[in-house]
Every structure is written in C-alpha cells, then in structure tokens.
C-alpha cells in the first residue's frame, strides 16, 4: 500500500514536469515553432475549434510559420484568431495559406517573457509540493489506520521528499534552459 502511494506521487510529479515542458513550448522565443499556435481556438462555423483541427501547421524556416487551412473559407477566421491572441504576431494572408513571420524579440519583451516563464515555473513547483503533501497525508492516514508502522511512515515520507526535491530541480533546469533560449539574441 505504501509503495503504491509513493509510485502514484512520483507519477503525478512526472506529469507536472511534462505539463511544464508542454507549457514552455508555447512561449515565443524568436524561433518559429508550431507549438506557439497550439492553444489557439478558431471560430469555425459558429463553434470554437483548435487551430490544429482546421489547418495544417508547419515551420519551414526558423522565422516563419505556415498555416494551410483544410477549408479555404476559414482562412479569415484563422487570421482573426492569430491577431486576437496575445502572441504579438501579424499573419499574412495570400488567400490560400497564412504566413506568420516571427519577429525578433526586443529586450523588454524578452524580460517580460522571462518573468512569465518564472511565474509558470513557480506554479508547477507548487503543484509538485501539493503532490508531496497529498502523498504524505495518505501515508499518515495509512499509519493512523495501523496499515503501516511508524518506521515505514518515516521511510515513505523521506522517499516522497527526495522525489519532490528531484522534480523541483528538474523544473529549475528546464526553466534555466528556457530562460537562456529567450534571452539569446
């Protein structure tokens, strides 16, 4: 029972790290990445649909994204969604495809992105700590119900703490790499 609690806590911490990496992929760094547009919702025949469902995305050049709508009539809605997003991108519509040039980031925008990424990292650190707390609570509950001994409780809490520390360090490493990528000129 104790091992299941520990394994579940580790899985949840790993999931938090994976989600953090996924969120960071959506942060603009001056390089073209289709992940930038992943969360974009397009008004498609009166309903909101993810951009990936209404168009093909490609990054043929380091500073250019190419969006090819599956239905040419949705091209203006896609363009509107990009303009309405907070990405600061200006799409170029030629009637068949949308080209999105990725402008270089100025120093102020880079610092703003670093602040946003640090805030995001702190949210995920809190998530890891919450998983640690929940697992420790479950272990204490098992101890209270006499399913594990005091020694097993202490060993389990120690393992969970080591996992939490390990995943917070991994979050910090990923954060440092992303900060370096953003600040790179």
Residue stretches of the chain with pLDDT short of 50: none
The span from the CA of 71 to the CA of 136, in Å, is 52
Does the pTM surpass 0.75? The reply is no
Q: Quick one: how far is CA 55 from the chain centroid?
A: 22
Q: Domains plus CATH for the chain? A: 2-25+106-183 (1.10.132.20), 34-101 (3.30.1360.40)
pLDDT of residue 51: 86
Q: Is 151 exposed, middle or buried (0-12, 13-18, 19+ CB in 10 A)?
A: exposed
Contact 137, 130 (CB under 8 A): no
SS3 46: coil
pLDDT of residue 157: 94
pLDDT of residue 34: 79
pLDDT of residue 185: 56
Contact 138, 152 (CB under 8 A): no
Q: What angle, 0 to 180 degrees and rounded to 10, lies between the N-to-C axes of helices 150-183 and 107-144?
A: 170
pLDDT of residue 13: 94
The span from the CA of 121 to the CA of 24, in Å, is 9
């Amino acid at each position: 029972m104790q091992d299941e609690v520990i394994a579940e806590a580790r899985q949840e911490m790993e999931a938090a790290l994976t989600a953090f990496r996924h969120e960071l992929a959506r942060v603009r760094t001056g390089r073209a990445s289709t992940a930038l547009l992943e969360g974009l919702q397009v008004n498609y025949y009166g309903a909101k649909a993810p951009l990936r469902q209404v168009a093909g995305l490609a990054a043929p050049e380091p500073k250019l994204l190419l969006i090819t709508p599956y239905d040419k009539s949705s091209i203006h809605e896609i363009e509107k969604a990009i303009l309405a997003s907070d990405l600061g991108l200006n799409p170029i519509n030629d009637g068949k495809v949308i080209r999105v040039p990725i402008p270089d980031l100025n120093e102020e925008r880079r610092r703003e992105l670093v602040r946003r990424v640090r805030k995001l990292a702190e949210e995920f650190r809190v998530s890891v700590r919450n998983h640690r707390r929940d697992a420790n609570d479950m272990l204490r509950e098992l101890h209270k119900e006499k399913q594990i001994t005091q020694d097993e409780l202490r060993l389990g809490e120690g393992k969970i703490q080591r996992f939490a520390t390990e995943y917070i360090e991994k979050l910090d490493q990923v954060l440092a790499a992303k900060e370096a990528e953003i600040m790179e000129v």
